Structure 1
Amino acid sequence: MTADGIKAIAALDDELRRGMYAFIRTAGRPVTRDEAAESVGISRKLAAFHLDKLVAAGLLQARYQRAGRVGRAPKVYEPAEADIQVAIPQRQHGLLAEVLLDAVVTHDAGEAAMRAASRRGKHLGAQERERVKLGRLGAERALTVTEGILAQQGFEVNRESPTCVRLRDCPFHPVTAQAPDLVCKINQAYLAGFLDGLEAPTVQAVLERVPGACCVCLRAAQSGDQ
C-alpha cells in the first residue's frame, strides 16, 4: 500500500469528486470544466477546485485543447494512467496472477486456461439468469442485462450502440502485458461463457483490438451465427 494510493482514495472521499471522476471516466473523450460541473450540478469555479484535487492525486490529467482559431483554449480533463489498489493488510494478487500466467505460458496450457475461464463465466451467467428469472433474450435486451452485470463485477463498459457493448478498459491490466494474446483470449472465453450461461445466443463476444480500449466487444450475432 503506497502513499500515492492512499492519497488517491482520500481524494475520492467526496461525493462531488466521485461523481465528476465517474463522469470523466465514462465520457470516452476529454471533458471541459463546464461539462464536469454540469454533470454534478455545481458551479464552474467549484468544479475547478475539485478537478485540481483529482489531478494532484494522480487520478486525472489536464491539458489545454484548442477548439478553434480564436479564443482561449479550454482546459480539459481525462483519466490518468493510474492503477490504484489499496488493501489492508497488503495483498499480492497481482504477483500470484503473474506467476500463474507464467506457468500457463511456459507449459503451453492456454487451452486449459480458456476452458477454465469459460466455465467460470458460464457459472456467473447461469447464476444471474436464475436470480433475475430471465426469459428469452433478444440481442438488445441481452446486451442491456450483460452491461449491468459486468458493471457490477467491476468491468468498465460502454454501450456504443443498441447492438454493441465494448469494455472500455482492460480488466486484467497490467498482467495483460505479460502475454497479451493469451489474456485477450482468456477474457473472450470468460465473456463467451458468461453469455452461454445467460442463454443469450443472440450476442457474441468477439475480439476487436482498439487502441486505448479492451480487446473484447459484445455484439449482436448475425442470424447465421446464432
Structure 2
Amino acid sequence: MFVDTPKEVRDPDVSAIAALDEPTRRRLYDHVARQPSPVGRDEAAAALGLPRRTVAFHLDRLADESLLDVVYERRSGRSGPGAGRPAKLYRRSAKQVAVNLPDRRYELAGRLLAQAVEESDATGEPVREVLHRKAEELGTQLGEQNKTNVFDLLERYGFEPRHEDDAIVLANCPFHALAREHTQTVCGMNLHLLRGVLKGREEAGLQAHLAPRPGQCCVRLQPAA
C-alpha cells in the first residue's frame, strides 16, 4: 500500500539508506543480519574490533531507523532475583527498504493484480472487473484517510501533478514499466484508482479520464462536465 509521507516530512526509506551509507554502521548491520540469533553490543564490538561505545551508538541508530529490532534477553539462563538485568540485543528487522527515482509503486500494483486473480478464481467474476473494483476501493480509502487537497495527495504519492489550465496532468506514472508492457490492464487499474481517490475526497469538480501522452501518466484529471 502507499506510504503516507507528507512532502515536508523526511522519507523513512531515504533516511534508512542514508544511515547505511556510513561504513562502520553498514558493517554492523551486515554482521547482525548474518547471525542466527540476536547480537549484543559486546559481541559485535569483539567481532568487528570496534570500541563498545561506537558499536552502541551505531546499533541504536540502526534501531532508530527500524533497520534493527531491539530485544531484551538474559544471557545467563537464570531468572528471578539475582539473575541480573536483561541484555539489550539487536536483530535484523522485517523492514524492507526501497527508493525509486522517479517514484514507483510496483508492490501496490502487484497486490491489486494478485487480489483480482484470486477473487476472480473464487467467484468467476472477470479478472479485469475485479481489478477495477479493487483499485477504486483502494483509491477511495486513500482519499478518505488523507485530509488534504487532491493535488497535494497526488504529489505525496508520486504522481507529480501539474496544473494545465483547469486540468491536472500527471507527469509521473508510479506503474511506468508495467504500463509500458501491459498498457490496457495497468492504465485501467490506474484510472479506477484515481477515480476512487476523487470519490474518497468528495471532489466533485474533477473527473479522471484516460488521456495518454508521451512522458506522462495515462490518466488526466479534468473539470467535471
- Scaled by the length of structure 2, the TM-score of the pair is 0.46
Structure exhibiting the larger radius of gyration computed from Cα positions: 2
TM norm structure 1: 0.46
